[in-house]
Amino acid sequence: MYARRCSLLFSLFLACPADGVQLVGAEVPPFATSGAGGGSGLAVEILQEAAKRLNESTAVSVMPFARAMAVTMQGSDILVTPLGRVASREDKYQWVAPLMDEVFVLISHKKHQARPLSREQAERLVIGVMRNSVGEGLATAFISATIDGVPMEATNAKKLAAGRIGAWVASWNTALYAQREAGLAAEDLVRGEVLMRTTLYVAASLKMPQQDVLRWRKVLEKMRKDGSIEALEKKYRYEAP
């Protein structure tokens, strides 16, 4: 029933485009988070500020990561954030503007594994990941490890603290946010080996006209230069790699 409802909502989103550009957040806290009052998060607020400067609607539809990517690929005049620019996605979107750099790392809990984890150590562990995430893709490289996928990163934070997983693969800022969201101390997380470095982007559907892509790119570049993006990074306690 849930899957049918999601499919219906997905179809309605594509079939009934709003006037102007549609803004989509791919749910990855602290960059994009859904809530009763609408979407929030670092990348969402950047997108909203850009929309305000362009006299566009600031409404952002935050949805599960996989659905956000699919909606953008199949639709037109859609912007989505934050997407890591990786090879498997390169030809599926127009890459409008970079927002911030991020690292995907092996993470342990200081109570169970106080020293930073290496790839070799992770091979023997149960690794927690968020389903359909870059972290899940990276974890599949650990041939001997057991992969435990969950819908939300906060669940991985709780499992790591309880010792139900031995390692967690996620972007570092996402892990810090999820740890706090779960009511746990960020200081308990131990950052291990870096598995991938990436840049998070605002991306557009392939059908978006070039003049619109350039319009959004210019305003995002201006926001970087005038310090607006840096101010939002401080608000969300973003840690540069």
CA distance 161 to 3: 31
How confident is the model at residue 26, as a pLDDT? 92
* pLDDT of 106 strictly over 60: yes
CA distance 241 to 239: 6
How confident is the model at residue 19, as a pLDDT? 63
* pLDDT of 7 strictly over 90: no
Percent of the chain surpassing pLDDT 70: 91
For the ranges 103-107, 141-145, 188-192, which has the lowest average pLDDT? 141-145
How confident is the model at residue 231, as a pLDDT? 97
Tens digits of residue pLDDT in 134-158? 899 999 999 999 999 998 899 999 9
C-alpha 189, offset from chain centre: 19
Which is higher by pLDDT, 164 or 85?
A: 164
Mean pLDDT of 1-27: 61
C-alpha 216, offset from chain centre: 20
Residue type, 137: G
Structural domain boundaries in the chain: 2-101+200-235, 102-197
The matching CATH number, chosen from 3.40.190.10, 3.40.1360.10, 2.60.120.10, 3.40.30.10, for 2-101+200-235 is 3.40.190.10
CATH class for the domain made up of 102-197: alpha beta
CA distance 18 to 195: 39
* pLDDT of 210 strictly over 50: yes
Mean pLDDT of 47-76: 94
15 band by pLDDT with thresholds 50, 70 and 90 = very low
For the ranges 58-67, 110-119, 188-197, which has the lowest average pLDDT? 58-67
Taking CA atoms, 7 is separated from 1, 24, 67, 215, in Å, by 10, 17, 10, 32
* pLDDT of 3 strictly over 80: no
Q: What is the mean pLDDT of the chain?
A: 90
How confident is the model at residue 2, as a pLDDT? 39
How confident is the model at residue 86, as a pLDDT? 84
pTM: 0.80
